[in-house]
Amino acid sequence: MTAITSEVVITLPSAAYSRTMTATTRSRPPGAGPLLREWRARRRRSQLDLALDAGVSARHLSFVETGRAAPSRELLLALADALEVPLRERNAMLLAAGFAPSYPATDLEDDQLRPVRDALQHLLTAHQPYPALVVDRWGDVRLTNDAVPPLLDGVAAELLRPPINIYRLALHPDGLAPRIRNLADWAGHLIDRLARQQRQTGDHRLAELLEEIRGYPAGRTPADPADPLRDVLITLRLDHPAGELNLISTVTTFGAPHDVTLAELGVEAFFPADDASRETLHRLAGPEPNRA
């Protein structure tokens, strides 16, 4: 009879590829199983469905979720990829399983990200005279162009102290909210966006921010059914001393990032929705510099 060792390695063949799971008596920090189960429930995936995507059996996935088997790093990353777990949460899952994080979280001000920072600032500058800004996962502003400050005239000073948060800035009663003509529509858009981000990430800080924003009086203004673009997209209709601004918003993210910071950054750019708004933004920017 073959001697029983303290470690058994089970290799499971798959049509796609093989995954190796290790059941061991060596102690590892608990937590990977419950986290996997939580993410699978959040994504509404069955064990069988997820197991097929990751190339393991449903039985072994069940063992991982219940703690009867400890996943290898390779398997854990494959499951996280199949569940579209954000990079920050993948690191947390790896730590819970006793592994080192796979994805760095480099500060945007770090010299290592200087080329990225310079590229982002170039992108923002090129968008002038239209406003654009870079925000992180929580809506905190990291970079802006020169077209943003003229729009913030009248906003309470405490909302302009770093870190400036776009959700508070837009919907706080001392922020832009009193000047947003379609407040109900814009508040609904931002709250839906924040709620979707919270559902996708399970981030507790986002949940707290969402609860705070929902407590603001913003959004009680009736929607304007006469808005010509309302059935196509939600525009930001902002009162400004220089003239009403109708702005279209777009959000751009990095493709296939392998750094937590970059994965969580978004470039929000605003475009004029009509000729009057375009002219107003050009006036606010002042005369173009002489390039001769």
pLDDT for res 5: 36
From CA 180, how far away is CA 114, in angstroms rounded?
36
- Reduced DSSP (H G I as helix, E B as strand, rest coil) percent helix, strand, coil of the chain, to 5: 45, 15, 40
**47-84 tens-digit pLDDT:** 999 999 999 999 999 999 999 999 999 999 999 999 99
Q: Which residues lie below 8 Å from residue 256, measured CB to CB, with a gap of 6+?
A: none
Answer whether 79's CB lies under 8 Å from 71's CB: yes
**16-55 tens-digit pLDDT:** 434 444 434 344 455 799 999 999 999 999 999 999 999 9
> In the chain, how many H helices and how many E strands?
11, 8
For 27, 55, 180, 235, 246, the CA distances from 7, given in Å and listed in that order, are 12, 22, 64, 60, 65
pLDDT for res 155: 96
How many C-beta neighbours within 10 Å does residue 74 have?
13
For 29, 56, 96, 158, the CA distances from 35, given in Å and listed in that order, are 12, 18, 8, 38
**223-282 tens-digit pLDDT:** 555 555 555 578 999 999 999 999 999 999 998 889 999 999 999 999 999 999 999 999
pLDDT for res 232: 58
Query: Is the pLDDT reported for residue 127 higher than 80?
Result: yes
Q: What distance lies between CA 96 and its chain's CA centroid?
A: 22
Query: Is the pLDDT reported for residue 9 higher than 60?
Result: no
From CA 169, how far away is CA 161, in angstroms rounded?
11
pLDDT for res 115: 96
From CA 77, how far away is CA 126, in angstroms rounded?
38
From CA 169, how far away is CA 133, in angstroms rounded?
13
Q: Which position has the token pair 């303290």?
A: 6
Among 14-23, 209-218, 278-287, name the one with the lowest average pLDDT. Answer: 14-23
Among 137-146, 216-225, 230-239, 279-288, name the one with the lowest average pLDDT. Answer: 216-225
How confident is residue 125, by pLDDT bands cut at 50, 70 and 90? very high
Tell me what the pLDDT averaged over the chain comes to: 87
pLDDT for res 219: 55
How many C-beta neighbours within 10 Å does residue 178 have?
14
Residue type, 206: L
Tokens of 19: 């995954």
Query: Is the pLDDT reported for residue 96 higher than 90?
Result: yes
Task: Dihedral sign for Cα 96, 101, 104, 106, please.
Answer: positive
Nearest Cα residue to 265 out of 106, 39, 55: 106
Query: Is the pLDDT reported for residue 204 higher than 70?
Result: yes
All structural domains of the chain, each given as residue ranges with its CATH number in brackets, are 7-96 (1.10.260.40), 111-285 (3.30.450.180)
